[in-house]
Amino acid sequence: MSSPKPAPQYLTSITTKQALILILSTLTLITFTYISFTSVRPTLNYTSYTSSSSLSYPQPTTSSHVDVEAEESGSDGFTDVYHVPEVFKLNYAEMERRFKVFIYTDGDPKTFYQTPRKLTGKYASEGYFFQNIRESKFRTEDPDEADLFFIPISCHKMRGKGTSYENMTIIVQNYVDGLISKYPYWNRTLGADHFFVTCHDVGVRATEGLPLLVKNSIRAVCSPSYDVGFIPHKDIALPQVLQPFALPRGGDDIENRTTLGFWAGHRNSRIRVILARTWENDTELDISNNRINRATGHLVYQKRFYRTKFCICPGGSQVNSARIADSIHYGCIPVILSNYYDLPFNDILDWKKFAVILKEKDVYDLKQILKDISHEQFVTLHNNLVKIQKHFQWNTPPTPYDAFHMVMYDLWLRHSVIKY
Applying CB under 6 A, the span of 21-29, 35-43, 76-84, 161-169 interacting with ligand NAG comes to 161-169
Q: Least distance from C-beta 190 to ligand NAG, angstroms?
A: 9
Residue 348: CB partners within 8 Å, gap ≥ 6? 82, 83, 88, 406, 409, 410
Nearer to ligand NAG, 281 or 416 (CB): 281
**Residue 37 per-residue DSSP state:** I
By beta-carbon proximity to ligand NAG, the closer residue of 352 and 382 is 382
Rounded to whole angstroms, the Cα distance separating 99 from 418 reads: 14
Q: How far is the CB of 258 from ligand NAG (least distance, A)?
A: 10
Cα distance between residue 45 and residue 38, in whole Å: 12
DSSP string, 237-290: EPPP--BS-SSPPP-S-GGG--EEEEE-----SHHHHHHHHHHTT-SSEEE-SS
Which CB, 153 or 411, lies closer to ligand NAG? 153
When the beta carbons of 253 and 365 are compared against ligand NAG, the nearer one is 253
Question: Is 291 a residue that touches ligand NAG (CB under 6 A)?
Answer: no
Span interacting with ligand NAG, options 69-77, 158-166, 212-220, 403-411, rule CB under 6 A: 158-166
Cβ-based neighbour number of residue 243 at 10 Å: 21
Contacting ligand NAG within 169-208 (CB under 6 A): 180-181, 183-184, 187
Stretch that binds ligand NAG, among 22-30, 87-95, 159-167, 211-219 (CB under 6 A): 159-167
Stretch that binds ligand NAG, among 46-54, 109-117, 163-171, 239-247 (CB under 6 A): 163-171
Tell me the CA distances in angstroms from 223 to 47, 313, 391, one per residue in order. 33, 14, 18
What is the nearest approach in angstroms of ligand NAG to the Cβ of residue 160?
A: 12
What CA–CA distance (Å, rounded) separates 293 from 296?
Answer: 6
For residues 390 and 402, the answer to whether their CB atoms sit within 8 Å is: yes
Peptide bond into 184 cis (omega under 30): no
- Interface with ligand NAG, residue 167, by CB under 6 A: yes
Cβ at position 308, least distance to ligand NAG in Å: 13
Q: With contacts defined by CB under 6 A, how many residues of the chain interact with ligand NAG?
A: 14
Name which position in 135, 253, 365, 376 contacts ligand NAG (CB under 6 A): 253
Which residues ranging from 266 to 285 are in contact with ligand NAG (CB under 6 A)?
Answer: 277, 280-281
Beta bridge partners of 204: none
Nearer to ligand NAG, 7 or 379 (CB): 379
What SS3 state is found at 55? coil
Sort strands 333-337 and 308-314 into parallel, antiparallel or unpaired. parallel
* 370 close to 349: Cβ distance less than 8 angstroms: no
Q: Is 163 in the site for ligand NAG (CB under 6 A)?
A: yes
- In the complex, the residues that contact ligand NAG under the rule CB under 6 A are 162-164, 167, 180-181, 183-184, 187, 253, 256, 277, 280-281
